[in-house]
Structure 1
Amino acid sequence: MKKNITALFLFVSGLIFSQHIEEFKITDEWLAKMEQLAPSETTVKNVAKKKILVFSKATGFDHWTIPHNTEMLKILGKKTGAFEIHIAYDIDSFEKNSLKKYNAVVFNNCNPSGPKRDLFWDLLQMNSNLSDNKIAALSKQYETNLLNYVASGGGLMILHGAITVQNNSKEFSKMTGGSFDYHPKQQEMHVKEVDPKHPLVQAFNGNGLTHVDEPYFFNNAYFDYNFRPLLYIEIDKLEGMKKEVDEKVNYVSWIKRHGKGRVFYSSPSHNAQSLDHPELLQFFLDGLQYVVGDLECDDSPIGK
């Protein structure tokens, strides 16, 4: 009898888990739910409307949540009235004059292909007849444009897999706070606040967030800890680790300054089901307010 109960529990648990990660299309019902769950006002009020460029073109792994995140950001902007959201897929968005139009850029899971891991290279190769040498030079120029844009005061918000946009660039890694290394299998995890009193994690009310996600691990500039961490996961609670680590925690979200600009990174989330948590929507909204300079908070790096 006990064996039957155990088997039934495992079967039901498996069904619940599969439902968490099952892909689904955007419907009117889902959009209505997002409208209801989204915050109706910003944390910092009475601020000028900001223009946000949301770049959503992947050339490598195509996260199924890209269109869901796009709709979510549009809803946040419209419902609060604080942001004018512009969706883009073309590399021309990273021309100097184009970037100047916006207060911040959001990279929405725009993963490039490997092993080069260079989004600008991929886009140029797909949409031009230029030589490899010319593509390399232009790709570097677009990267420089973005680095200078942020250093001059622009905001940059990076969602989940978009940490790989220029994954092999030391300059890009230094600006963003790290590069993608690998992730174990998707699993349920409890993401916790590093400092529950920090203004950017107030949405979680000290409870963190339990959801199914990919536990991202990072390398390159990450281990300089040149950022202010916001959320973490406990490594000893994870399954399927591919490498031994000395650290007890892994940071999965942080903020940092780059010159006069601000960067916000959130590894959560790989799955659109996580957007059912209103606290995560508030977290993203606060992140937008941070990168445009409306929400001031401690973003000093913790260092090694």
Structure 2
Amino acid sequence: MIGLCLAAFADPAAVHERPLRVLYLSQSVGFVHDTVRRPPGGLAPSETALLAMGREGGVFTVEFSQDARELTAARLAGIDVLVFSTTGALPIERTAWAAIIAWMESGRGGFVGIHSAADTALDFEGGQDAWTAFLGGRFDGHPWTQGTEIRLSNLEPGHPLVSMWPDATGYAEEIYQYVGFDPDRVRVLQTLDMGAGPLRRPYPVPVTWVRQIGRGRLFYTNLGHTPSTWDDPRFRAQIVQAIRWTGGRLEAPASPNPEVQDSAAIAAFAAAEGAPLQTNPGSSAAIADEIRALQAAHPEKRDGDSSAWDAARAQIRDRPGE
């Protein structure tokens, strides 16, 4: 493990309260992103970026690890926020995982997941499902490959965890879609805008969300695939705010917003299909669920067979006005 502590005097508030203690885990069990690849004797780009974030704002100190076995109950007692940019089945045993959940639920700790944290699991029986339930969703492919032009839809522009990304921000990133995602358990703050870019799908793709776990707080963003994103001032500001919020130094709403997500799902379908969709308030949730189910029917999930995809889209599109 590499540990570094930063004195924090840039922010006057830091004089009155200690900096948050962050542990950044960037272990890769499988694919290794450039953002977490360490050069010989040095730090990975994302580690260097986190050092700069802590130095500039004085909000936190940070220690680094690329070995999940270090996440013991004793280790958790000395930190406030876990930040994960990980892949694969991490070597976290059941007892260690139970300690992490207890730490979160008690409000003693918070969690920030970045990009491939959604392409992560736990190395014990049932660990993948446990991780998916914890984070809120699991990687289900990235049709929007590295460098694909996208546009971000900000569902709550005044929320301090996404206010740095104005609605309709154009960007280029690798964007995941998810399985095991339940709109009733999270508050989605950013999604893909399906009215822009070269690749448009008629179903919603969340990008950033938050949730409560007991008294603890969890933040996840799909952004962060490339070193250039880690260098982006907007992304850096977002991660700092996420650390502040999960560490209990910032207040922001986290209650689930399924109605907002339903509206975003209907808007995604209409934008990608190029036609408005007739709904009323009483039918929106059911229609949104049908739209979300399109992801599993896409031909790429069915060996190129488009019959289910075409039939499901037609059923939604041809729904009589209500």
Instruction: Decide: shared fold, TM above 0.5.
Output: yes
Q: Tell me, in whole angstroms, the C-alpha distance in 1 between the residues paired with 2:182 and 2:12.
A: 33
Quote the offset at 1:68 in angstroms.
1.3
1:267 pairs with 2:214: no
* Alignment deviations for residues 8-58 of structure 1 (CA, whole Å, 9 cap, x no partner): xxxxxxxxxxxxxxxxxxxxxxxxxxxxxxxx6599995431110001111
Contact 1:42 1:80 in 2 (8 A): no
Q: Tell me, in whole angstroms, the C-alpha distance in 2 between the residues paired with 1:285 and 1:174.
A: 25
SS at match of 1:92: helix
Q: Tell me, in whole angstroms, the C-alpha distance in 1 between the residues paired with 2:114 and 2:187.
A: 17
SS at match of 1:53: strand
Q: Tell me, in whole angstroms, the C-alpha distance in 1 between the residues paired with 2:35 and 2:213.
A: 28
Matched AA of 2:67: D
Quote the offset at 1:105 in angstroms.
0.4
4+ runs deviating over 6 angstroms: 42-45
Work out which of the residue numbers 161, 175, 178 in structure 1 matches 2:116: 161
Quote the offset at 1:251 in angstroms.
1.0
2:87 is matched with: 111
TM-score normalised per structure 2: 0.67
Contact 1:44 1:294 in 2 (8 A): no
Quote the offset at 1:239 in angstroms.
4.8
Q: Tell me, in whole angstroms, the C-alpha distance in 1 between the residues paired with 2:208 and 2:240.
A: 14
Contact 2:29 2:90 in 1 (8 A): yes
1:226 is matched with: 185
Flag the 1:169–1:65 CA change in 2: closer, same or farther, 3 A: same
2:77 is matched with: 100
Contact 2:49 2:231 in 1 (8 A): no
Q: After superposition, where does 1:1-304 map in structure 2 within 5 Å? A: 47-66=17-36, 67-108=44-85, 110-112=86-88, 118-120=89-91, 139-153=93-107, 154-166=109-121, 169-184=128-143, 185-186=145-146, 187-204=148-165, 206-220=166-180, 222-235=181-194, 237=196, 239=198, 247=203, 249-303=204-258
- Consecutive unaligned residues in structure 1, runs of 5 or more: 1-39, 113-117, 122-138
Contact 1:53 1:88 in 2 (8 A): yes
* Alignment deviations for residues 155-196 of structure 1 (CA, whole Å, 9 cap, x no partner): 000110012222763332222111111111230111221111
1:11 is matched with: none
What percent identity do the matched residue pairs reach?
A: 22
* Alignment deviations for residues 210-261 of structure 1 (CA, whole Å, 9 cap, x no partner): 22211210111x13441111111024545567xx75x3x3111111110111
Question: Aligned residues, how many?
Answer: 236
Q: Tell me, in whole angstroms, the C-alpha distance in 1 between the residues paired with 2:12 and 2:187.
A: 22
Structure showing greater relative contact order (alpha-carbon pairs closer than 8 Å, 6 or more residues apart): 1
Flag the 1:240–1:200 CA change in 2: closer, same or farther, 3 A: closer
Matched AA of 1:88: S
TM-score normalised per structure 1: 0.70
- Consecutive unaligned residues in structure 2, runs of 5 or more: 1-9, 37-43, 259-284, 286-322
Flag the 1:68–1:171 CA change in 2: closer, same or farther, 3 A: same
Q: Tell me, in whole angstroms, the C-alpha distance in 2 between the residues paired with 1:192 and 1:45.
A: 37
The structure where helix makes up a greater share of residues is: 1
Flag the 1:202–1:42 CA change in 2: closer, same or farther, 3 A: farther
* Alignment deviations for residues 92-113 of structure 1 (CA, whole Å, 9 cap, x no partner): 32111111111010002x101x
Matched AA of 2:105: A
